[in-house]
Structure 1
Amino acid sequence: MTEQTTWIGTSWKMTKTLAEARAYARVLAGCDWAPGIRPFVIPPATAIATVAEVLSPGGAVLVGAQDAHWEDEGAWTGEVSVPQVKDAGARLLEIGHSERRAHFAETDERVNLKVHAALRHGLLPLVCVGETAQQRAAGAALDTVTAQVRAALAGVPATTRVLLAYEPVWAIGEHGTPATPEQVRDVVTAIARVAGPARPVLYGGSVSLDNARDLLDLPQVSGLFVGRAAWDAGGFLALADLAAQPAPQAPGGPYS
């Protein structure tokens, strides 16, 4: 039987100096990861090369970039390209985070362009999708999220691996409200149905040690995309250790 991969990752957003990034990466570099755990970290662009150097190319921990332009080069002042972040050591590209959608005009069309750019250069896309509180209240969560998934994957062969991260907008950030497993279940099931078997679905949004086990136990959740709870290396490792533990058996199961 093929061992299931559990993805555990974090984006540092706009935090950490080079010294702080290097110290964090050194902790991860000294770890022996449990079988089946696939860790990844996404530093700010300024620290990609530093973190990638500490973690070594081809190492167990994937290094990502928080964004990149869809064009390979050109007059795009302030932007970085996929070839540039790859050259710095990124092997994964985060695309379509709700903060970029809300504040930086990240449309579904641009998300799709970036997915194709990442794949063109051999990076693994990590596409973030999620509904706002207003969309959920209106009963439009499933339609909103599945539309985002379909748009992101337009023109991508069904067998091409892409990671999807379900991050309800109302659940992320310092003031987010943690989602219950019941609120997550139907959405991740719909994402998996639309995306297909080659696309693992992660969950992100106020993830903590208190709720991580329940989220990981959902059948369609293949990992966690963590924010503040993993900005400290110890927090990241604690979540990875939890993910490596066997799921508790339901009453009447083989070990009851």
Structure 2
Amino acid sequence: MRRKLAAGNWKMHGLLADLSQISALNADHPDPATDILICPPTTLIVPACAAINGGAVQIGAQDCHARASGAFTGDLSAVMLKDAGATAVIVGHSERRDAHEESSEDVRAKSKAAHAAGLTAIICLGESLAQREAANTLDIIAGQLSISVPDTAVAANTVIAYEPCWAIGSGLTPTPAQIGEVHDFIRARLTTRFGEAEANGMRLLYGGSVKPGNAAEIFEVSNVDGALVGGASLKAEDFTPIINALKAAS
């Protein structure tokens, strides 16, 4: 039985004053039936870990470098993130693939670095609107999945997040049938590569304009084990209904 996961990606939002939202979330869910993860900006990882004070909410990061150390000004390694208190790191988000021109090979290297550091890698996949309209979604997902996920991936250290690029921050959401098609496809591909037992343990998240009003419907879809949430994770009052919907679907 896969434990559900509600992960929040704060992106480039959040100052010290906003740690109150993490504290509130932690207080609202002292013993959750699902895993809860917040990935704030790197500047907040250490104080966020202090704010949860050993509570159920986990703290993650939004990206890492593929190398453990070196002359890479402005970058942070997975080892550093682990040392700061992070338990997971998002890699391959569409905003990184697009704005920073990261390839699936880059994502694979970062995923391996995360695994080596003892972090869970949340590996993001997703197609553009043009690719969806050209009926190329599954081909794109297959290519990203085969290259981005390293051989070091196991159920305990890897989460796959399907985030159609055209749905992120747009208010648009794929239909449940479209989400289910992709998640079932990913599960089948993982099974072929890693075997049924390991693949069945890997959690698959949906991300892209998830909000309280559509969360329950999304969580009813086959092979959806939770969500990677953007804007709706910034405030506890918005994220809690999503977490509760996930609990109800568990």
Q: TM-score, normalised by structure 2?
A: 0.91
Residue of structure 2 in register with 1:146 after alignment: 142
Q: Which residue of 2 aligns with 1:182?
A: 177
Note the alpha carbon deviations across 1:66-109, whole angstroms, 9 max, x for none: 00101011110111111111111110010000000001121101
- Secondary structure of 2:201's counterpart equals coil
Determine if contact 2:220/2:249 at 8 Å carries over to the other structure.
Answer: no
The structure with more helix, counted as a fraction of residues:
2
AA paired with 1:30?
A
Pick from 32, 44, 47: which aligns with 2:44? 47
CA contact under 8 A between 2:216 and 2:249: conserved in structure 1? no
- Judge which range, 107-116 or 152-161, deviates more: 152-161
Q: For 1:32 and 1:230, how far apart are their aligned partners in 2?
A: 14
- 1:6 is aligned to 4
Separation of aligned partners in 2, 1:157 and 1:208: 29
User: How big is the shift at 1:34?
Assistant: 5.7
What do the CA deviations read for 1:142-166 (whole angstroms, capped 9, x no partner)?
0101211111223225555410010
Alignment size in residue pairs: 242
Deviations 1:13-48 (A, max 9, x none): 00111121x211211221335653111000001111
Match of 1:231 in 2: 234
User: 2:20 is matched with which residue: 11, 20, 23?
Assistant: 23
Which of structures 1 and 2 has the bigger CA Rg?
A: 1
Give the counterpart of 1:123 among 102, 114, 119.
119
1:105 is aligned with what amino acid? E
**2:165 equivalent among 169, 183, 190:** 169
TM superposition shift of 1:126:
0.3
CA gap of 1:159–1:97, structure 2 versus 1, over 3 A, is closer
How many Å separate the matches in 2 of 1:97 and 1:157?
18
Residue pairs, 1:193-212, within 5 angstroms: 193-195=188-190, 196-212=199-215
1:92 aligns with 2:98: no
Residue from 38, 44, 47 that aligns with 2:35? 38
Change (3 A) 1:194 1:230: same
Structure 2 contact 104–144 (Cα < 8 Å) conserved: yes
SS at match of 1:39: strand
| One of 208, 212, 216 as aligned partner of 1:213 | 216
Residue range with higher mean Cα deviation, 87-96 or 34-43: 34-43
Is 2:160–2:205's contact at 8 Å kept on the other side of the alignment?
A: yes
Q: Relative to 1, partners in 2 of residues 1:166 and 1:198: Cα closer, same or farther, differing over 3 Å?
A: same
Q: What runs of 5+ residues in structure 2 fail to find an aligned partner?
A: 191-198
| TM-score, with structure 1 as normaliser | 0.89
1:107 alignment partner AA = S
**Contact 1:95/1:125 (8 A) holds in 2:** yes
Q: Deviations over 1:154-198 (max 9, x none)?
A: 32255554100100001001x241211111111111111112223
- 1:19 and 1:240 map into 2 onto residues whose CA distance is 23
Could you tell me which runs of 5 or more consecutive residues in structure 1 were left unpaired when the two chains were aligned. 248-256
Q: Is the 8 A contact 2:5 2:226 kept in 1?
A: yes
Work out the percentage of aligned pairs sharing the same amino acid: 33
Specify the alignment match of 1:60 in structure 2.
56
